[in-house]
Structure 1
C-alpha cells in the first residue's frame, strides 16, 4: 500500500540505489593495479615548480631542498616559491634554500587560488618559458622520480595530471593516521579506478601538473576554497580531462588533531558545494548534449556531498520506518538482498585490500579500527559545509612536521610496484 510519503521516499531510494551501485562498480577497477603504459624517460620537458606558502618557515626549506635534488636534469626545471601574505621568514628561508622567491601582499583576493593566478601571470611574462607547471604545497615532500613520471605523461599528450598524494606523517596521531588511510583508499578505489576506466580524475591541490599552453589558453580562474576541484570542472567543460599518475608520488602532511582535520574538511566541503552550485547544471546540460560519459561522471562527482546528506536523511527515516512504517521500502524489490549483502561486505573489503596493497604498518592497521569514526564525522561537516557554502574566507592549516627527505626511507619498489607506506630513518620536530 503506497503512502503520500512515497512521492519523496521512492525517488530517494532509487537515487541511493544508483549512487551505491555506481560507487561500488567503479571501486573495483582500482584494486587490480594500473593499466599498462609505456613510459618515456627521455628528459625533454621543462618545468616550473610552484609552491604557494603562507607563513611556512618551519617546512619550506625541506621541500625546496627536496625539489632541487629530484632525479631530473636540473637545467630543465626551476623552483618558485610564492611567499603569500607572509608575516614570518618564509621568503628568506626559501631563498636561502635555493628557491626563486616572489613575495605577494594583498588585502583582497586571499587564498591559494589567487596566489596561483598571480604567479602564473608572472611566469607567462618571463624570458624563459616552460613546457609545464607543477604545483605543490609547502608542507610536501616529493618522490625523486616525480618529474620523470610527469615528463612521460606529457610526452604521451596528457594535459592536466594529478599525482599520487601520500602521507608524510601517517603514524603521528590517530587523526593523521585515519586521514592517511582515507587518502590511500581514495587514491586506489577512486582516482586509479577512474583512470583505468578512461574517466576524468579530480585534482587534489598538490602534486598537480599542467601543460603550460592549457594555462595560457584558458587562464587560471579557479579562486574558490577548493580551487583544485574548480579548475578540474572548468577544464572538463572544455573537454580536457584530468589524468592520474599513480607513480608520481607526493608526501603530504596530514592534520594532527581532530579540530584541524574538522576545519580543513569543512573548507573542502564548503568549496565542493560552491563549485557544484555554479557548475552542476551547466555540466549536466553539456554532458547530455554531447553524450559525453566523462562529463556525466564529473557531474556525479559534484553531486557527491548532496548524496551524503540525502543518504543520511534516508538512514534516519529508515529507523523511524522500522518502528512506525510510513513509506514503501523498495530497496530489496529493485536489488535482491544478496546483492546488498555483497555491497555491504565490499565496504569493508576495500579499505583492507588497499592497506594490504601498500604494505601498511601495524600502526596503520590499528588506526583502521577508528576509520569509521572519521567517515561518519563527514556527516555534520558536510551539513556545515552546505550551510556556509557561500563563505569564502580562507583558513590556513598550520604545518609543523619539518621532515627532510633524507629522513624518509622509501621502499625500493615504491614506484615500480606501486606506492608503499614510507618509514622514517629519524624524526625531527621544529
Structure 2
C-alpha cells in the first residue's frame, strides 16, 4: 500500500515538475511591447512601512522624481505600528503620512486594507493604486508603463522585481538569481502563453474600481499570493510589465533570509489549502487552463514538501539491509528524469544570460544550490508551524539610491 502511494505521488509530482520546466522555455523570447499612451491615469502610491526610518527617505526621493506628471500621483506612507521616525520623515518629504496603530492586527495585508478604506473616504479619487514596500526603488518610467497597461485594459499589473543589493552577500546573490529566473522564465513565459501572472508583494498596480468592487481581503502572511488567487478565481488575470522595474532589498544573512522565507512558506500553505482544490475544480469545469495553471502554482509549496518527504523515505529504504522494498520511478525511467533534472538546472544560467545579469554574479551559481536545497528543511518546518499567523518584520538598512542602481546597470 505504501509503495503504491509513493509511486502515485512520484508520478504526479514529476508530471507537475515536467510541466513547469517545459513552460519555462516559453519565456526565451520577450513579448512584444504594448501600445504607448500619453499620461492620463492618476495614481495613489501606497508605501507600506513598519519602522523604516533608515530606508524610506531614499524611496520617497526616488518617487519625487518619477518621469510622470506630478499632478497625476500622490504618495501615501502607511506608518504601520511604527515606534520610530518613519511618519516624520514622510512628512518632511511633503507626502501623506498615515499612521495606523493596531497591535492586534499586524502585517502588511491589514495595513493595506485599512489604508484603502481611508483612501476611499478622501475627496480626491484615483484611477489606480500602486503598492510599494519602504525599502524599494522604482525605475523612473514605472508609472508610464503602468499608465500604458491600464489604458490597454489591464486591471492588475505586476512590475519586474529586481534586487537592489545583489552583491552584498552570497544569500542576496541567490535571491537575485532566483528573481531573474522568475521574471524571465516564469512571468514572461506565462505572458507569452496568455496565462495569468502572479503578484510579487511589491511594485503592484491595481485599478481602483476593481479594488472597490471586490475589496482587498488579503490579510494572510502572503497577501500578494492570496490576492492573486482571488483575482484568478473571479476571472481577472494579473499581467506582467517587463519594462517597469522595482528594486527590492534582500536580507544579508542566511538567518534573516530563513526567517523571511519561513513566513512566506507558512502563508503559502494557508493559501494552498484555501484555493488549490476550488481553483483546480473550477478550471476543469470551465475548461480554463489559466485557472488550472494557477492552481498548480498554489500547490508548489506541497510539491516541495511531498517530493522532499518521498525522497527521504526512498533513501532510507535504500540504506536498509537487502534489496530496496519501495519503487523509485527514477530507477524505472532514469534517462527521462535525468533529462528533466538537467533542464531544470540549466534554466538558471539561461535566465542570467537572457537578463544580462552582471558577470560577477556568475560565481554565485557555486553557492546557489545551497540556497535551493535550504527550501526543503524550511518548507518542512513551515508545514508543522503553519498555524503560526504571527507576522515578522524584515529589517531593512541598505540605503541605496536610484542613481546608484542606474550606474550599476550601465
Interval of TM-score (by shorter of Structure 1 and Structure 2):
over 0.9
Q: Residue 203 of structure 1 contacts residue 232 of structure 1 at CA under 8 Å; is this kept in 2?
A: yes
* Structure 2 counterpart of 1:414: none
Name the TM-score, length of structure 1 as normaliser.
Answer: 0.91
Q: Per the alignment, do residues 330 and 59 of structure 1 end up closer, same or farther by CA in structure 2, a change over 3 Å counting?
A: closer
Moved more, 46-55 or 306-315: 306-315
| Cα distance in structure 2, aligned partners of 1:321 and 1:387 | 24
| Cα distance in structure 2, aligned partners of 1:321 and 1:393 | 38
* Structure 2 counterpart of 1:286: 282
* Structure 1 counterpart of 2:311: 315
Number of residue equivalences: 407
Equivalent residues in 2 for 1:70-89 (5 A)? 70-89=66-85
Q: Per the alignment, do residues 72 and 283 of structure 1 end up closer, same or farther by CA in structure 2, a change over 3 Å counting?
A: same
State whether structure 2 residue 57 is matched by structure 1 residue 65.
Answer: no
* Structure 1 counterpart of 2:28: 31
Q: Helix, strand or coil: the match of 1:409?
A: helix
| Cα distance in structure 2, aligned partners of 1:328 and 1:135 | 49
Q: Residue 13 of structure 1 contacts residue 331 of structure 1 at CA under 8 Å; is this kept in 2?
A: no
| CA distances 1:336-393 after superposition (whole Å, capped 9, x unpaired) | 5443333222123211111122222233111111000000000111111111212111
Shift of 1:281: 2.2
| CA distances 1:68-126 after superposition (whole Å, capped 9, x unpaired) | 11111111111110111100000011111222111111122111001101111111111
| Cα distance in structure 2, aligned partners of 1:318 and 1:132 | 51
* Structure 2 counterpart of 1:92: 88
* Structure 1 counterpart of 2:324: 325
Q: Residue 160 of structure 1 contacts residue 211 of structure 1 at CA under 8 Å; is this kept in 2?
A: yes
Moved more, 371-380 or 352-361: 352-361
Q: Helix, strand or coil: the match of 1:81?
A: strand
Where in structure 2 are there 5+ consecutive unaligned residues? none
State whether structure 2 residue 296 is matched by structure 1 residue 300.
Answer: yes
Q: Residue 29 of structure 1 contacts residue 193 of structure 1 at CA under 8 Å; is this kept in 2?
A: yes
Shift of 1:317: 3.3
Shift of 1:329: 3.7
Picking from 101, 106, 120, the partner of 2:97 is 101
* Structure 2 counterpart of 1:413: none
Equivalent residues in 2 for 1:36-51 (5 A)? 36-51=32-47
Q: Helix, strand or coil: the match of 1:377?
A: helix
Picking from 256, 260, 268, the partner of 1:260 is 256
Q: Residue 37 of structure 2 contacts residue 151 of structure 2 at CA under 8 Å; is this kept in 1?
A: no
Q: Residue 132 of structure 1 contacts residue 209 of structure 1 at CA under 8 Å; is this kept in 2?
A: yes
Picking from 183, 198, 201, the partner of 2:197 is 201
State whether structure 2 residue 388 is matched by structure 1 residue 403.
Answer: no
| Cα distance in structure 1, aligned partners of 2:335 and 2:35 | 42
Name the TM-score, length of structure 2 as normaliser.
Answer: 0.95
Moved more, 312-321 or 18-27: 312-321
* Structure 1 counterpart of 2:19: 22
Shift of 1:207: 0.3
| Cα distance in structure 2, aligned partners of 1:283 and 1:38 | 29
Q: Residue 269 of structure 1 contacts residue 385 of structure 1 at CA under 8 Å; is this kept in 2?
A: yes
Picking from 180, 186, 191, the partner of 1:190 is 186
Picking from 9, 13, 27, the partner of 2:10 is 13
State whether structure 2 residue 233 is matched by structure 1 residue 237.
Answer: yes
Q: Helix, strand or coil: the match of 1:21?
A: helix
Shift of 1:314: 2.4
Picking from 115, 123, 133, the partner of 1:137 is 133
* Structure 2 counterpart of 1:344: 341
Equivalent residues in 2 for 1:103-182 (5 A)? 103-182=99-178
Shift of 1:187: 1.3
| Cα distance in structure 2, aligned partners of 1:332 and 1:47 | 56
Q: Per the alignment, do residues 290 and 82 of structure 1 end up closer, same or farther by CA in structure 2, a change over 3 Å counting?
A: same
* Structure 1 counterpart of 2:243: 247
* Structure 2 counterpart of 1:368: 365
Q: Per the alignment, do residues 98 and 422 of structure 1 end up closer, same or farther by CA in structure 2, a change over 3 Å counting?
A: farther
Where in structure 1 are there 5+ consecutive unaligned residues? 411-420, 424-430
Q: Helix, strand or coil: the match of 1:380?
A: helix
Q: Helix, strand or coil: the match of 1:309?
A: helix
| Cα distance in structure 2, aligned partners of 1:408 and 1:279 | 38
| Cα distance in structure 1, aligned partners of 2:239 and 2:357 | 26
| Cα distance in structure 2, aligned partners of 1:274 and 1:229 | 10
Shift of 1:236: 1.2
RMSD between aligned alpha carbons? Answer: 1.6
Shift of 1:65: 0.9
| Cα distance in structure 2, aligned partners of 1:362 and 1:321 | 43
| Cα distance in structure 2, aligned partners of 1:230 and 1:108 | 21
| Cα distance in structure 2, aligned partners of 1:329 and 1:386 | 24
Q: Helix, strand or coil: the match of 2:367?
A: helix
